Amino acid sequence: MIEGRIHPKHADCLEVDKNGGLLLSHNFHFISACGTPLYTNYTPDYKGCLDYIFVEDNKVNVKQVIPLPDEAELSQYNGLPNKYYPSDHVSLAVDLSFKC
């Protein structure tokens, strides 16, 4: 998303013709407002980053990013969800302002 295109051989492409002729693209200038956290999903079967907040960096400023729990905190439990985190995904939250 942040590179403006998805290569036809990328695993997230649902359908590519037999010649590999599909290229999905866009003209937005996306950034991930929260960066690329190590973990937004932390379960016994999968631990990694699945979630992003994409914004156009030429239209908004990222003012603040709510801190995410680190692996030391998440690893105290048998994954997510648990009694402290009600979802198997960690919440992403940011404060944004429009560029004038």
pTM, to two decimals: 0.77
Domain boundaries, the chain: 5-98
Residue that is written with structure tokens 């649902």 in the block = 14
pLDDT (average), residues 46-72: 95
E-only strand ranges, the chain: 5-6, 24-25, 30-32, 41-42, 47-48, 54-56, 60-65, 94-98
Greater confidence (59 vs 23) lies with 59
Computed over every residue of the chain, the mean pLDDT equals 87
pLDDT tens column, 5-46: 777 677 666 666 677 776 667 788 899 999 999 999 999 999
Other CB atoms within 10 Å distance of the CB of residue 77: 13
